Structure formats: structure tokens, C-alpha cells
Amino acid sequence: MKQIIKSYPDNPAVASAFAKELVHLVSELAKSKQQINIALSGGSTPKLLFEVLSKEYSETMDWERIHLFWGDERCVKPDSPESNFGEADRILLSQVDIPAENIHRVHGESEPADEATRYEQVIKQQVPSNESGTPRFDIVLLGMGSDGHTASIFPHEIDLFHSENICEVATHPESGQKRITITGKVINAATNVCFLITGDSKAEVLAEILDEKPGFEQYPTSLVKPNIPATFYIDESAASAM
């Protein structure tokens, strides 16, 4: 079954549409689950989503049930503008009534290998596993870089996707920045995987991946194949090469 692709005019429209669907999905999950485990993506794309959730859904979401994790985090202090947690906290978490104990940030300020081990334990403790013992998030949000990376699994380290571990230490190919990332088995175990991809810088690679053009397997994003196919929420710029 092919991925589901939902295209919108621009990033604000993607954020608005996805926010509405996310709220609905969470309310559906809340009918049968006491704790809903969501792994957030980082980078700039989800910031508009966080703004919409903060401004329009702060009273609608059942924050008591929602536990937030990060699919990847830069190894920086939480108050760094580079911090995925820091930005989500500034825009959203500090604006809604989510209990502090429901927020499971990656300690970007810690030694990377130690933090990958610690965060793996946090995920194992908080997120129920599937039949193969892999923690199964209810929702994993992902972005995609213009090089086809997702979470912090970059093409030059694509083998991290296949790691037996739950978390790995990754290295940004240009900056050398260390990152903590969940691995492919955790991504593909998730019940719902949602990509938010916008901007024309992603268009060429996104088209290669979705149209399975020759060499598409070089991109980590192409390896995201959960049981229920991922849904791609994209804007017209990102869709412009399809």
C-alpha cells in the first residue's frame, strides 16, 4: 500500500490541516488509551504546527494524556535556539497545561553516548512495546532534509536506520554536530507516522523517493515503511517536482 500524500498550498496550510487531524487522532486514541505517546520532529517545519496547536487547540487537546518525546535532538543545551525541545517549549509547551512529567526531553547537554543510552531507557519505560519488543509510539512526526535525511539519520550514516538499538548518536554531515536519534525500527514500529515536508528545497528528493526513481534507496526517508503507510503532509513547493 503506497504512502498517503496530502498536499496544501503552503506551510501555514499544512500546519493548520495537520493540527486539526492531529487533534482528531489524539481524541480517537484517547478513547482507548490512558497515555498517548508522541515523538515530535525538529527543525523549522513543525514550528508553525506548534504555533497553531498553542493558539487554536490549547484547550482542546487532552494534555494530561499526552506524553511527548523527540524523534531526534541536537546535542546542545535546552536553551539553545538549536534545541528541538527548546523551540517546542518556547512556542508550545510553555503555553499549554501539559504536566512536566509528560515531557521527556533528550538531554542535549549530556555526553551523547551516555544520553543515547539514557533516552533509550526512558522510551522503554514509557512506551509499550510491540510483539517484537520494540517501543511502539502512537504517533511519530518526521521531517525530511533536502538531502533526504529524516530524524537525524543522514545519508552518510544510513546504517543507523537499521540499528538494533532504539537510539543512536548521529553526526550532522556538514556541521559535525552530534545528535541523538531514534532508529528505523522504532520509526517503523509506530502506529501513525506523519511527515511534514514543505519548501522547494525538498522537492527533488521528495519526488525521487515517492516516485521510487533510480537510487531512491540512498535516502533514509525512503526506508520509513511502517505497517500503516506514512502520511505525507506537504505543500505545493515540496510537491513541485512530482
For 31, residues 6+ apart whose C-beta sits below 8 A from its C-beta are: none
> C-alpha dihedral over 141, 147, 149, 150, to 10 degrees?
0
- The strand pair at 178-182 and 72-74 is best described as antiparallel
Report the residue number, 36 or 76, with the smaller CB distance to ligand 6PG.
76
Q: Rule CB under 6 A: is residue 89 a binding residue for ligand 6PG?
A: no
Phi first, then psi: give them for residue 127, nearest 5 degrees: -110, 115
Q: Rule CB under 6 A: is residue 175 a binding residue for ligand 6PG?
A: no
Q: Rule CB under 6 A: is residue 42 a binding residue for ligand 6PG?
A: yes
Q: Rule CB under 6 A: is residue 145 a binding residue for ligand 6PG?
A: yes
Q: Of the candidates 11, 45, 183, 222, which one interacts with ligand 6PG according to CB under 6 A? A: 45
Residues 22-41 that bind ligand 6PG (CB under 6 A): 41
Q: Of the candidates 135, 143, 184, 220, which one interacts with ligand 6PG according to CB under 6 A? A: 143
DSSP string, 5-54: EEEESSHHHHHHHHHHHHHHHHHHHTTT-S-EEEEEP-SSHHHHHHHHHH
Phi first, then psi: give them for residue 232, nearest 5 degrees: -100, 115
Q: Rule CB under 6 A: is residue 121 a binding residue for ligand 6PG?
A: no
Q: At what angle do helices 45-56 and 84-91 cross, to 10 degrees?
A: 30
Report the residue number, 66 or 197, with the smaller CB distance to ligand 6PG.
197
Q: Which residue is nearest to ligand 6PG (CB)?
A: 143
Q: Rule CB under 6 A: is residue 150 a binding residue for ligand 6PG?
A: yes
**What does the alpha-carbon distance between residue 207 and residue 187 come to, in Å, rounded to a whole number?**
21
One character per residue 60-79, x = contact with ligand 6PG (rule: CB under 6 A): ------------x-------
Q: Given the rule CB under 6 A, which residues bind ligand 6PG?
A: 41-45, 72, 84, 143-145, 149-152
